[in-house]
Amino acid sequence: MRHYRHPLRRHRLPRHMFRTGRQRAIAVLLLTAFVLSIVVLAGYMIDDSRLATRPELRHQAPSLDHWFGTDWLGRDMFLRTVKGLAISIQAGVIAAAASTLIAAVMGMLAALRGRFLDRMITWLIDFFLSVPHLVTLILIAYISGGGLKGVVLGIALTHWPSLARVIRAEAWQLKSAEFVQISRKLGRSRRWIAVHHILPHLMPQIMIGFVLMFPHAILHEASITFLGLGLSPHQPAIGIILNESMQYLSTGSWWLAIFPGAALVIVVRLFSIAGEKLRQWFDPDRVWRR
């Protein structure tokens, strides 16, 4: 007599595949943290004297002495690129953290503070999502005077709606959980329940949202700076480097834009992959694959 076999059992993966997926996620997260630390530390170790102009070295192609070549003032493009990445990462971290905080507060308030506030916050989320990020960001950065403050404020006020919608949905589900209902019957306040029950369960979503928002913050910072509404031209940010290099591409100085642009894309892609791995790590229904 044949034993009954559940039809889903044959789709189960061996345990070593789960271990392999988790090990890869840890490796990617550690690599991302290592690259972030190296770039930021190297950027702060480069002083202004090493970025001084040297006209006798201008427009030199990439070589062993100058890995990314030199610009029209003889400045080393490798040092400028590392310094620019450090500045962009700093702006991206601050903006992403501020936007994540706004999303967490708005999402929890929408779910825990009544129908009227929920409708108002949902309307705000839909309004910001209906307007292109870049247009609103440029407007906010221009009104606030540009610079680092304007870029951070613009990114923080335009990137929170998507994450706030996810947090709101998660908080609505947690509200009906059994342990939350028990706490309410025991007389716990809304604030106590939010801090001790809702927020700990939302932390994985908040962390994933921050990591995934970080690449968008860097790219938008570079875009705004490229357009002249971001960081000061005296700072070697990636957007400024790319903006200045445009007028020299026709003369054959291709390295002025290729290397800084490629470095920015690599950093952004690395953090995007890290965010996806972090999402897989916290998602219990995710099937780890080879």
The domain spans of the chain are: 15-47+236-290, 94-207
Q: How far lies 105's CA from each of 22, 26, 137, 233, in Å? A: 31, 29, 21, 35
Give the 3-state DSSP-derived string for the chain, with helices as H, strands as E and coil as C: CCCCCCCCHHHCCCHHHHHHHHHHHHHHHHHHHHHHHHHHHHHHHCCHHHHCCCHHHCCCCCCCCCCCCECCCCCEHHHHHHHHHHHHHHHHHHHHHHHHHHHHHHHHHHHHCCHHHHHHHHHHHHHHHHCCHHHHHHHHHHHCCCHHHHHHHHHHHHCCHHHHHHHHHHHHHHHCCHHHHHHHHCCCCHHHHHHHHHHHHHHHHHHHHHHHHHHHHHHHHHHHHHCCCCCCCCCCCHHHHHHHHHHHHHHCCCHHHHHHHHHHHHHHHHHHHHHHHHHHHHCCCCCCCC
Whether the pLDDT of residue 14 is over 60: the answer is no
Whether the pLDDT of residue 10 is over 50: the answer is no
Whether the pLDDT of residue 1 is over 60: the answer is no
pLDDT band of 2, cuts 50, 70, 90: very low
pLDDT on residue 99? 92
Q: 285 or 252, which is more confident?
A: 252
- CATH number for 94-207 (one of 2.10.109.10, 1.10.274.10, 1.10.3720.10, 3.40.630.30): it is 1.10.3720.10
At 191-243, the pLDDT tens digits run 888 888 888 888 888 888 888 888 888 888 888 888 777 777 777 788 888 88
The whole-angstrom distance between residue 203's C-alpha and the CA centroid of its chain comes to 16
Whether the pLDDT of residue 6 is over 80: the answer is no
State the average pLDDT over residues 97-109. Answer: 90
Range with lowest mean pLDDT among 14-28, 100-114, 184-198, 242-256: 14-28
- 62 is written with which tokens? 């990439």
At 111-158, the pLDDT tens digits run 777 788 888 988 988 888 888 878 888 888 888 877 788 888 888 888
pLDDT band of 98, cuts 50, 70, 90: very high
